[in-house]
Amino acid sequence: MTAADLAPHASATTGDAVAELTGVTKVYRKSAAAPPVYALRGVDLAIARGEHLAIVGASGSGKSTLMNILGCLDRPTDGSYRIDGAQVADMTDRQRSLIRGQRLGFVFQAFNLIPQLSILENAATPLFYQGVAAAERTERAAEALDRVGLDDRMHHRPAELSGGQQQRAAIARALVNKPALVLADEPTGALDTATSDAILELFDELHDAGVTLAVITHDPGVAARAQRTIVMRDGEIAEQHLTA
């Protein structure tokens, strides 16, 4: 990495933005009397279609708040957020939850699979909430599982799979609605090194296939796989680097 790689507010790829934050501020107030906490302070960020972005920063720097806004789980106090052309800042909770189901995929550190359901049923869940018919849900979930290499494990429950396989199933679930943006929060945090590497290879393959990825991570090895890393500090994007 050289000074030339530091390009504030530049995007790793040209082209249209899938997600675009402009002047996004998030203020938390525990009570009317409590002092406000500025979790995000005027964040400008455009994630290009097909980009692989990493978000890093110390604890308390605003990563989760940023992720919650990108994921339409929360609304900015001020500023605008467009996902795939839709303006989220003005939406009701119900509209945001619809957009979330249609345009976003989520991958978590702890996989968050439903233990009582098969991998196939787990991968199909996002489609259930969108009212997709049962036969199509099954077909699309099977396709997504095939894509992550779990075609021979579809009828197993999560507990019958290894950690890496469970994360693959969770990735299939994140892909099943063909999201505009996949958000991953410490996706390899619960995995050993070899398994983490295999999951990162899978992310590389998805990126090569055109999936847009934003990954929150503490792990420099994970961030190094991304095209661009943004560093959060005190609610701001303090630095960003393009990977050589």
C-alpha span between 44 and 21 (Å, rounded):
5
Closest distance of CB 168 from ligand ADP, Å: 25
Cα–Cα distance measured from residue 13 to residue 194, given in angstroms and rounded to the nearest whole number = 30
Cβ distance to Mg ion smaller for residue 106 or 142: 106
Q: By C-alpha distance, which of 163, 164, 173 is closest to 118?
A: 173
Q: Which residues pair with 82 in a beta bridge?
A: 20, 87
Q: How many whole angstroms separate alpha carbon 128 and alpha carbon 78?
A: 33
What is the rounded distance in angstroms from the CA atom of residue 88 to the CA atom of residue 61? Answer: 23
If the CB atoms of residues 19 and 216 are measured against ligand ADP, the closer one turns out to be 216
Q: Look up residue 116 and give its two tokens.
A: 């009582």
Q: In the bound complex, what is the minimum distance in angstroms from residue 183's beta carbon to ligand ADP?
A: 13
Residue carrying structure tokens 């849900």? 137
Can you give the binding site for ligand ADP, defined by CB under 6 A?
28, 30, 37, 39, 57, 59-65
Q: Minimum CB separation from ligand ADP for residue 57, in Å? A: 5
Task: Count how many Cα atoms sit within 13 Å of the Cα of residue 12 in the half-sphere of its side chain.
Answer: 23
Q: How far is the CB of 43 from ligand ADP (least distance, A)?
A: 11
Q: How far apart are CA 29 and CA 32, in angstroms?
A: 7
> Is the CB of 50 or the CB of 57 nearer to Mg ion?
57
Among 25, 64, 80, 243, binds Mg ion (CB under 5 A): 64
Which of 23-31, 55-63, 78-86, 134-142 is the region at the interface with Mg ion (rule: CB under 5 A)?
Answer: 55-63
Identify what 37 binds: Mg ion, ligand ADP, none; CB under 5 to 8 Å per kind.
ligand ADP
Q: Which is nearer to ligand ADP, 84 or 185 (CB)?
A: 185
Q: Which positions lie near Mg ion, rule CB under 5 A?
A: 63-64
